[in-house]
Amino acid sequence: MSSVDDRTARARVRDAALELFAERGEDAVTMRQVAERADVSAALVVHHFGSKAGLREAVVDHLRTWMDDLFDLSTDTGDAQAGAWSSIGDMLQQGLPENSPVIPYLRRLMMTGDPLATELLTAWHRRTVEIFREWDAAGTLLAGPDPETRAAMAMSADLGTLFLADHWRQVLGYDPLHGEGLARWGEEAMRFYGAIFPATDTPLDPAIGSRPPSSKE
């Protein structure tokens, strides 16, 4: 078997594990079940990952890469300007294909109190604060006097949308994460967050955008 086929098989097994972990929880999933879902032999799963712990680590690494890629897509400050939701929408659709198991897996980690959830949330928050500071310097977002808390509040809204998307789909009658539903949700979100996405020709509101004095002042 060629190395390309090996990599393809490895990715298929990893994705099968992610799907099953999201559906049932890691403790309820066996290596044999993963092999069956990936349509490979159990021996091949062991060959690539060694153990269930190794399989979990591969899933987690994949999740970290997904998060990093999504943040990299968001570093274009132009995408943060009010009214430019099509760019953000494209980013979300590119990074989060429909029926992706990533969000159900993240939701399960958060709800079960898995330490991995705290690790991922901490990394996500750190990157969000960095991006907020970059956007603030570029004049496209107001990081405010407490960017750490402001980032946490924004993340709470984002995660709420992701984790409750299935329920909002039933309540609202459209999918807030994909297609026309994403555009509709995004337009209203940009209006909602308009206070921290100032127009370039509008004076900043000190109560919203004031910054704490530096240690040198």
Same domain, 82 and 132: yes
User: Domains in the chain: how many in total?
Assistant: 2
Would you say residue 207 lies in a domain?
A: no
pLDDT of residue 82: 40
**C-beta separation of 200 from 185 below 8 A:** no
Claim: this prediction has a pTM higher than 0.85: no
Q: What six digits make up the tokens of 55?
A: 């399989």
**C-beta separation of 129 from 147 below 8 A:** yes
What's the rounded Cα separation, in Å, for the pair 21 and 60?
Answer: 11
pLDDT of residue 103: 86
Would you say residue 45 lies in a domain?
A: yes
Same domain, 71 and 155: yes
Same domain, 35 and 64: no
What contacts 62, CB < 8 A, 6 or more positions away? Answer: 14, 18
Least confident range of 45-49, 65-69, 168-172: 65-69
Q: What percent of the chain has pLDDT over 70?
A: 75
Residue 207 has pLDDT above 80, yes or no: no
Instruction: Count CB atoms within 10 A of the CB of residue 85.
Output: 21
* Domain harbouring 29, CATH code: 1.10.10.60
Instruction: Count CB atoms within 10 A of the CB of residue 111.
Output: 10
What's the rounded Cα separation, in Å, for the pair 3 and 113?
Answer: 38
Same domain, 8 and 67: no
User: 114-162 pLDDT, tens per residue?
Assistant: 898 999 999 989 998 998 898 888 888 888 899 999 999 988 888 888 8
Same domain, 138 and 189: yes
Same domain, 66 and 43: no
Q: What six digits make up the tokens of 47?
A: 């060959």
Would you say residue 211 lies in a domain?
A: no
Same domain, 64 and 37: no
Three-state SS at 140: coil
What's the rounded Cα separation, in Å, for the pair 11 and 43?
Answer: 15
* Domain harbouring 106, CATH code: 1.10.357.10
Predicted confidence band of residue 197 (pLDDT cuts 50, 70, 90): low
Rg (CA), the chain: 20
Structural domain of 112: 60-196
Instruction: Count CB atoms within 10 A of the CB of residue 55.
Output: 24
